[in-house]
Structure 1
Amino acid sequence: MITLTRLNGKSFTLNALYIETVEAFPDTTILLTNGRRYVVKETMDEVDSLTLSFFQKANLLSMPHEGGSIS
């Protein structure tokens, strides 16, 4: 989950697994796989950074094991 801020200043958490696209219109707009859109105060770069951090913490972007298979 990532914490974002709506344009009215209220914070909310969003499951980053469901993010399909992030665009700037100029406000940052996040489109989820279910079709819902969220407009947030964070920049596209900030959303990208938060999402990357979430995936790393969830171990979804790990490096492949070096040195052969794990036994």
Structure 2
Amino acid sequence: MITVTRLNGTKVTINALFIELIEEAADTVITLTTGNKLVVKEKTSELIELNQQFLQTIGLVAAAQKSE
């Protein structure tokens, strides 16, 4: 799970495994596999870092590195 900030300043925690697409224009839009969209303050690079940290905590990054 990662916590992001909506444009109105409220925090929301989402399951990072459901992120399908991140678009960055004037605002950053996260599209989930459910079709839901969130507009957030974080930039794409921050979201990628948060997602990588999450994947490490659940052991998916280590598992992917061992299979290479």
* TM-score after normalising by structure 2: 0.90
Q: Give the length in aligned residue pairs.
A: 65
The RMSD of aligned alpha carbons is 1.1
Report whether the alignment pairs 1:64 with 2:52.
no
Q: Which runs of 4+ in 1 moved over 3 A?
A: none
Shift of 1:25: 2.2
Q: Deviations over 1:11-52 (max 9, x none)?
A: 010100000000112201000001000000000000010001
Give 2:15's aligned residue: 15
Equivalent AA in structure 2 for residue 46 of structure 1: E
- Taking the aligned partners of 1:20 and 1:10, their CA distance within structure 2 comes to 22
- Taking the aligned partners of 2:61 and 2:22, their CA distance within structure 1 comes to 19
**Secondary structure of 1:35's partner?**
coil
Equivalent AA in structure 1 for residue 42 of structure 2: E
Equivalent AA in structure 2 for residue 24 of structure 1: E
